[in-house]
Structure 1
Amino acid sequence: MKLGDLGLSANGLLINRISWKHLFVLFLILHIIPIWIFSFFPSQDGVSHIYNAHVLKEYHRHENYIIRDVWQLNLTVFPNWLSHISLTGMLYVFPPIIAEKILLTLMIIGIPISFLYFLNAIHKENAWVFSWLGFIFSYNYLLYMGFYNFTISISFFFLSFGYWWRHKDGMEVNNLIVFYSILLLTYLSHFVSFGLVLLAISVCQICLCGVGIISETWRDRSTRVFFRGLRPLVQFAGYILPIYFILATYYLQSLRDHNSGNYRGIEWVWEYFWGVKSIVYFTDWHIPVNQALLGVLGLAVVMSLVYRILRKEWIKKSDSFLLISIIFTFMFFRAPWSFGPGGWINDRIHLYILLMLVPWLIHNGHRILQIGFTLALVVITLLHFGRTAYDHGRLSMEIAEEVSAVDLIEPHTTYTIRSPSWNKSDSLGV
């Protein structure tokens, strides 16, 4: 059996050999089924994205002068643009609901594919062991809040990080063009993911160069070796500082306009952290499954430590990812929940914490451990997906009933579903 193949047997006979790649593709297909078999996608702000795209599409039509009186077109290159541009383009070809479904499909499959690409850049043939986490995080709380731009940015986060890792030791001009292009798409998607990926890449580069400089200088006792070791760090600074200029410009502008943030209480932060609530939506049903996920990853951490100790592998390149995960955890606890018009900052940071830990884990351990972790993550993925599909079906019927009378609404009227007894929802953050 090849590495990465899963053997299925019955009555003592091997009946099939399924490559993890086949299973991965099957999961991709499975995860987009709820998008297409149900009429509506149950998100809070998703409809506003479709509306904004419709406004952009109709903005320049001569008869829509009232739209131009109400809205002023801002062509500045800034975050949160990408979903609007994409939906606007698709509205020229598809009706609004289909355009949204296409965008959702790309978002849902983009996260596991980009996460696999990221892991493959680091661990090559053993990336499949923990790649299933990409499916678990593809349907997440922020997606159902309707934060489409941030969800898009998750894929670009891992694509840009993975591409940098592949080419970090020989970044040529053509590589820089591709790298800058992916970072630009990350920026156009969401500022938080853009800032986090720059921070993560910088931490990796500093760790990789720092370990090399210290070990070689200690061995040779030479200042020449020390300065020679700084060369990769200087080269890195040369091509990454222009990107930091973009980051700083947008951040300082936001700081000038909004000089304070709102913070959640520490009890809320701890509850969110241990419940892995970045992948909890509609109901707390997901929390026990998420705690099982923490148990699986906790066991993987212990096994990785034991493996490293037994093999006396004290320092590895992948150790920088453990540091990144720790830094993101610290940021999650210390960051404001909202800053100016931007909110859900803790939620966005939290989504990356466990995913950044994965590259640090041992991927090339004993075959039994590899299959064991894979099966555990596959089961958790299916549990999450099963509940998600159920909620999609239930809520889609409610939405269909809600919009069934939309043709009866007269033009230029306002329709609201809020009643005096309307209660705010903690699960939706309103």
Structure 2
Amino acid sequence: MKYFFVQKMYLDPSNISYSYTTNYYKSIKALGNIDMVKLSDIAVEITDGTRVKRNYIDHGVKIINVGDFKGGTIYSETIKSIPKDRLKDKDYIRSNDLLITAVGKSGQVTRVTPNLEDYIISSDIIRIRLKQPSEAERLVAYFRSESGQYALEAIKTGQLNRISINDIKELQIPVNYREISLNKDGLIERKKEVYKLYEECVELFEKYVAQEESLFNSPQMVYIKASKIKTDRLDPKYYTYFETGLYKVINSSYNNVTWIPLGKLVEIKKAIRPTMDENQEVNYINISNLDSDLSVITSNEKALYKDLSSRIRYVLNQNEIITAKSGSSTGTENHVTAIVTNRYKNMMASDAFYNIKPIQVNPYYLLFLFKQPIILKQIEAGCTGSYFKTINRNEFEEIRIPRLDDFIELQIVQKMVQYLGYFEEYKM
């Protein structure tokens, strides 16, 4: 059992929940005995984004949603547009505003850079405009520090991990946050550079494989001969998928791109529980130990072999891939995939993953692909279930993988090796 002895001075009578108290205590202990100030005291304004109904259009005002936060930055490729009607001047963000996600993957913090000026944000994002805008980067660095993360964790509430505007206003931060964050500046810049590597991979890939939204649109209705209907697949989306642009693209060869079924390029390991000493301590990985945005393993669990869930079955080897085969996020932009690095080799993993051993494809290229809509949409189409989705082995092996020129794939691999190397170096 984990527990803390918390002195009365660290208890807040207005919030005595375990999560708030322990995380607040950790935040204070990480800082030491220093003076604090309310965040609202150093801000001009703290508010959330527009509540205008989101009717997405091709050309309009760019709106940043929670899903556009990737690796500590705003991923511009996923940002959508809405009409300008009914928007107000206060809805637009400015350079050096701080943005904090307030629901779901809440507590992600970034600074508005000049290229994002005059965009707007959704109501699930909190905007902080500082009295001294030039200090924005240092405040971001503090929030990404150990103490800052504990502080944000403390104010999350409910199953949606919601953070309220009022809690942000009342949040205590160090008076000297500038000095605390100084040694983080290089880290922030490095993270931006590394995430840029991934964006370069996408840009290179899309020269050969287009991923326009229109590819993934399904018709509202299709006519099917009774003889073509499978008794184990009575869900309409399974059949409408065959009429999408995506299905046509992955079943043709063009632009020096060849599409190969996944099962011909990899070995999908069987989930067979190994024989082991019942009292041996085992390190293992669940879905929750992966970061879906970054596609990295961020942590692991530990228990005696005899106490493990029966679902902990795989023994992982370096350079293998683990990717979700079931769950509400399977086949969506939050689908989790990661490569097994040296740090996590020989650990075990849940059979909620497929454990993939690449044979005729580079694991880093495969990892990159499992972050792309053109692969994720195939996974989604192969899934059964509406909320808790699962893709069976046969459907999974039939996912078609785009093979590019060897030199192009190598460029993507080299950038992804650098990308993953960064996270290994900083143990993220």
Please classify the TM superposition score into its range, dividing by the shorter chain length.
Answer: under 0.3
The TM-score with structure 1 as length reference comes to 0.23
> Which structure's residues are more often helix, by fraction?
1
- Identify the structure with bigger relative contact order (alpha carbons < 8 Å, sequence gap 6+): 1
TM-score (ref. length: structure 2): 0.24
- Structure with greater proportional strand content: 2
